[in-house]
Structure 1
Amino acid sequence: MSISTADTDRLSATFGDVLKASRRASLLPLGMLAIALLYLVYTWFAFDMGKVFGAADAERSVILSRDSFHYKYQLEHSQRRNDFSITVEGNRETEIAGTEKIPAWVTRQNDETRVDLGDGHVAHFGNGFMDYTAPDGSLYQVRTTDEGVTVNGYRSILVDDRFYRFLPIGADPAAGLLNLEELAELGIIPQGASFATTKFEYAPDFYKRLRVTRSQVLVERYFFGWEFFWFGPKSPLAGMGLGEVWEVATSDQRIDPKLANYEYVFLQFWRNPDWQHNEMFIALLETLLMALLGTFVAAGVGLPLGFLAAANFNPFFASRMALRRLFDFLRGIDQIIWSLIFIRAFGLGPLTGSMAIAFTDTGTLGKLFSEAIENIDNKQVEGVRSTGAGAIQRYRFGVIPQILPVFVSQTLYYLESNIRSATVIGALGAGGIGLKLVQAMQTHKDWENVMYLIIMTLIVVIAMDMGSGWLRRKLTGAEAAKA
């Protein structure tokens, strides 16, 4: 069979049309991609992202990340009171009292303290002085005098109200001043130390830090782990292993005559002054209840409003439009904005967070439910009607079984999401775990407590995800089996 010239021309024309159509079709996504790239370039310069990334302190991020999995002993000698204290994380509630609990690397004699910081670093200090010995044997003598803090016989002066310069005590400034780098090169101060009239500060590495001011001498030493997580340093159970704690809990000899030993052990853990497990649990419970109350109120209000906003159940156009605009208004304002409004109106507390969640989710769930109702199969409703059922029965047996999977899945999904939202809202003052998290972050030193709170929140979110998934399968699966 031969192909004529006319057939060849028609095939060529058809192929050309297809090629042009494919080119036109590919131009649209390419054009949209180009617009998106141009917008990203615009936002980069409009928000000055280069400056934002330039201002980021990567070293501080590393320090805080490492601090999340370390604890520190803080040894302080007060210059004003001439007294000495050892605390964990600087918390007075965890102050170590009694020489029997002082760490082995700390030696006390009279009013002076010697601290072996490890790796050859040694600090010896008392009222008004600190002698620091480096691993190479270099000695740095820090003193507090009427002229301020001095190091190895050098003092600082402020030049032009901007820069600190250094010279020997009693020397004439006209003879010449040294800067910080020159002091380090001469071995007067350690490399990387901070020196000014008011303080001397040096951190040989992440695990050690020395600080001397006119009011205090401070030495900090870090260790890996979460020390005293189970029992505080003042607890008789501190430092015991699991077997020893079990023996105490099951012993017939009571530690506290008013409590059984297992109650005593639990309360020693529950009321740990540093980790505050009881307060953390109550805060987490507040967050959970905030999310539960807000979500279920939104679902309970959104379902009947969804019926009223559905075109196949409400024939009045004006009322449907009013309800839909109400949904837009409620969900158009973010939960954080609602929480700020309610904080101003009703004050701080979990109720404020619950109302913020309920308002926002009523708009969202009401819209979702109304759309689900409009998309139901009317044959099932008509079948129920044919039995002589009334309006309430038609809703119960003709509509609810069809929208139940959507109702359950969306409600449980928003419950999971609202646990995270309640944490953010709580940070603004509504209470719960969010407020505890902000308070821990503001201290700039208890980052292991911050990590503890984050892990607790993640555990609750994961548990809610698994529990809601199981409940969703049970409810929707049972309904599907009935259908």
Structure 2
Amino acid sequence: MVTWKINCQWRECSRIVQMASSKREIENKIYREFSHIIYPSWRKKVIPLGIVAIGLLYLGYVFSFFDMYNIGKRWNTERASFFALDSYAHKVHVQSYWKNPLKLKVTLEGSRFETYDPYPEWVTGSKNENKRIDFGDDGYLVLLDNKVVMHWTDGVPITVTRPVNGKLGIQSLEDLPDYVRVTKNKINVRPSLYSRVQFYKTKIVIHRYFNGWEYFFFDFQSPLANHGFFDTLRFVFLDKRLDPKMSNLSFAWNEFLYNGLWLHKEVYVALFQTIFMAVLGTLIAAVFGLPMAFMAAYNVTPFGSVRFILRRLFDTLRGIDMLIWSLIFIRAFGMGPFSGILAIGVTDTGTLGKLMSESIENIDKKEMEGVKSTGANNLQQNRFGILPQILPIFISQTLYYLESNTRGAIVVGAMGAGGIGLQFLGSLQTGKDWENVAYISLVVLITVVVIDILSAKARRKLIG
């Protein structure tokens, strides 16, 4: 019995020793194979830290170069609020000259053509009498023969007198409020966002803002200028013909399209050109990109030189931005949609060719082998073995680029290719037609949303 216990203990000890030796062997093997990971060299320790340090130095350089530390000082919220106000409101200008302050010119947005006659109801006073201009809740001002007296709701009257020796005079019983700014050549008064008065050495300019896009449907000179929605309906269906040569509906539609302030016809014709550029450019990329993708795939084309040339061609086409291509083609073929179409087509040919060639190389080979086992030739193998596998990806990518190119065509158009981008740039350059900028932006946004919805439906119907 005692001998049996000793034998058992000896076997247990032997097993433990074997396990310990096996464990040491495993540890030694792991150490030999992964020693470079467990104890990396100093280079592998320093290189990641160096990359992080270079990145931090670069960020510091960027902050210093663009003076990001003082960005808050340069941020002009007041100017931004003025631009925002111009995008959803319109202003009426009242202008007079110090040599005859009682003679006023009241216009819409300072235009030479949209002049109010008679004056709006908030401008009162006969021809040679003192004029009162009402600013609603902000107050009012009175134009006299040799001075202007402003009565704002939050302070005492402020008087600005006719310039003497080229210098404007300003008087107030109290300290001037913060919204009055006096410089050497001008006095600027803005008690609220909707009221503004500017005094120069020779003239007085008054702005009063009103919410809404004025004369959006019919312009200032139109016979329907003051017609509201229901007035227009009554005119179309009940009133006598204003022009005997056309129906009232045609007349109203013609007045809407040829609105001289909002340029509806020009905007929608330009929008059609932009969509046309995007569609035709994407179509060109799809037609040329897919066959070239087959020739660039290693499992289709056995010639390495052909694949190399095509892949470098793809890199070149997509490596140069669409904007640069548009400038190149504008220089070569002149301004117009044709240059925009080529810019979109060339750029997306490289991108679609690259994506599709990689998709072809990653197909399931079993389907192609199955088609090959039926005795199909190379063309039939590509048609029935490869194309059905990549077709959903190809359709999805093409529709996505169509959506993207609709936005890209706007930028390309602004560079000279035409379309709504050129209209957008023209409104921006004037510096005062921000309501037109907002209108065009809204039209573009709606167009992009509609194209996105239509492409999603097409994708579901074609791909499933």
State TM-score, norm by structure 1: 0.79
Which amino acid in structure 2 is aligned with residue 105 of structure 1? W
1:130·1:212 contact (CA, 8 Å) conserved in 2? no
- Give the corresponding residue for 2:135: 117
Secondary structure (helix, strand or coil) at the match of 2:269 reads helix
1:190·1:202 contact (CA, 8 Å) conserved in 2? no
**Which whole-Å deviations, capped at 9, do the CAs of 1:165-222 have from their partners, x for residues lacking one?**
xxxxxxxxxxxxxxxxxx87965x6644344454332222211111233453211101
- Once residues 69 and 6 of structure 1 are traced to their aligned partners in structure 2, the CA distance between those partners, rounded to angstroms, is 86
Q: CA deviation at 1:33?
A: 7.3
Secondary structure (helix, strand or coil) at the match of 2:135 reads strand
Pick from 80, 94, 106 the counterpart of residue 123 of structure 2. Answer: 106
Q: CA deviation at 1:386?
A: 4.4
Q: CA deviation at 1:303?
A: 1.1
Query: Relative to structure 2, which stretch is displaced further, 59-68 or 323-332?
Result: 59-68
Alignment CA distance shift 1:126-1:260 (3 Å) = farther
Query: Relative to structure 2, which stretch is displaced further, 255-264 or 42-51?
Result: 42-51
Q: How many residues align?
A: 441
Pairing of 1:461-472 with structure 2 (within 5 A) = 461-472=448-459
The percent identity for this pair of structures is 42
- Once residues 145 and 416 of structure 2 are traced to their aligned partners in structure 1, the CA distance between those partners, rounded to angstroms, is 42
Pairing of 1:434-449 with structure 2 (within 5 A) = 434-449=421-436
Pick from 64, 68, 74 the counterpart of residue 87 of structure 2. Answer: 68
State TM-score, norm by structure 2: 0.82
Q: For structure 1, which runs of at least 5 residues remain unmatched after alignment? A: 153-182, 478-483
**Which whole-Å deviations, capped at 9, do the CAs of 1:453-479 have from their partners, x for residues lacking one?**
1111111111111111111111112xx
Q: CA deviation at 1:89?
A: 2.2
- Give the corresponding residue for 1:303: 290
- Once residues 382 and 100 of structure 2 are traced to their aligned partners in structure 1, the CA distance between those partners, rounded to angstroms, is 77
1:89 aligned to 2:109? Answer: yes
- Give the corresponding residue for 2:96: 77
Alignment CA distance shift 1:356-1:120 (3 Å) = closer
Which amino acid in structure 2 is aligned with residue 468 of structure 1? S
1:134 aligned to 2:152? Answer: yes
Secondary structure (helix, strand or coil) at the match of 2:198 reads strand
- Once residues 390 and 460 of structure 2 are traced to their aligned partners in structure 1, the CA distance between those partners, rounded to angstroms, is 15
1:91·1:274 contact (CA, 8 Å) conserved in 2? no
- Once residues 434 and 423 of structure 1 are traced to their aligned partners in structure 2, the CA distance between those partners, rounded to angstroms, is 4
Which amino acid in structure 2 is aligned with residue 91 of structure 1? S
- Once residues 436 and 390 of structure 2 are traced to their aligned partners in structure 1, the CA distance between those partners, rounded to angstroms, is 44
Which amino acid in structure 1 is aligned with residue 168 of structure 2? T
- Once residues 279 and 127 of structure 2 are traced to their aligned partners in structure 1, the CA distance between those partners, rounded to angstroms, is 59
- Once residues 305 and 99 of structure 2 are traced to their aligned partners in structure 1, the CA distance between those partners, rounded to angstroms, is 76
Query: Relative to structure 2, which stretch is displaced further, 282-291 or 192-201?
Result: 192-201
- Give the corresponding residue for 1:424: 411
- Give the corresponding residue for 2:204: 217
- Once residues 142 and 362 of structure 1 are traced to their aligned partners in structure 2, the CA distance between those partners, rounded to angstroms, is 68
Alignment CA distance shift 1:407-1:242 (3 Å) = same
Which amino acid in structure 2 is aligned with residue 119 of structure 1? D
Q: For structure 2, which runs of at least 5 residues remain unmatched after alignment? A: 1-11
- Give the corresponding residue for 1:150: 168
- Once residues 72 and 342 of structure 2 are traced to their aligned partners in structure 1, the CA distance between those partners, rounded to angstroms, is 37
- Give the corresponding residue for 1:325: 312
- Give the corresponding residue for 2:5: none
Secondary structure (helix, strand or coil) at the match of 1:314 reads coil
Pick from 193, 199, 202 the counterpart of residue 189 of structure 2. Answer: 202
- Once residues 336 and 142 of structure 1 are traced to their aligned partners in structure 2, the CA distance between those partners, rounded to angstroms, is 54
- Once residues 365 and 452 of structure 1 are traced to their aligned partners in structure 2, the CA distance between those partners, rounded to angstroms, is 34
Alignment CA distance shift 1:257-1:128 (3 Å) = farther
- Once residues 429 and 255 of structure 1 are traced to their aligned partners in structure 2, the CA distance between those partners, rounded to angstroms, is 40
Pick from 359, 363, 376 the counterpart of residue 372 of structure 1. Answer: 359
Which amino acid in structure 2 is aligned with residue 298 of structure 1? A
Pick from 415, 420, 433 the counterpart of residue 433 of structure 1. Answer: 420
Q: CA deviation at 1:312?
A: 1.6
1:142·1:212 contact (CA, 8 Å) conserved in 2? no
- Once residues 78 and 295 of structure 1 are traced to their aligned partners in structure 2, the CA distance between those partners, rounded to angstroms, is 57
Q: CA deviation at 1:81?
A: 10
Pick from 378, 399, 402 the counterpart of residue 389 of structure 2. Answer: 402
Pick from 54, 57, 67 the counterpart of residue 73 of structure 2. Answer: 54
Which amino acid in structure 2 is aligned with residue 106 of structure 1? V
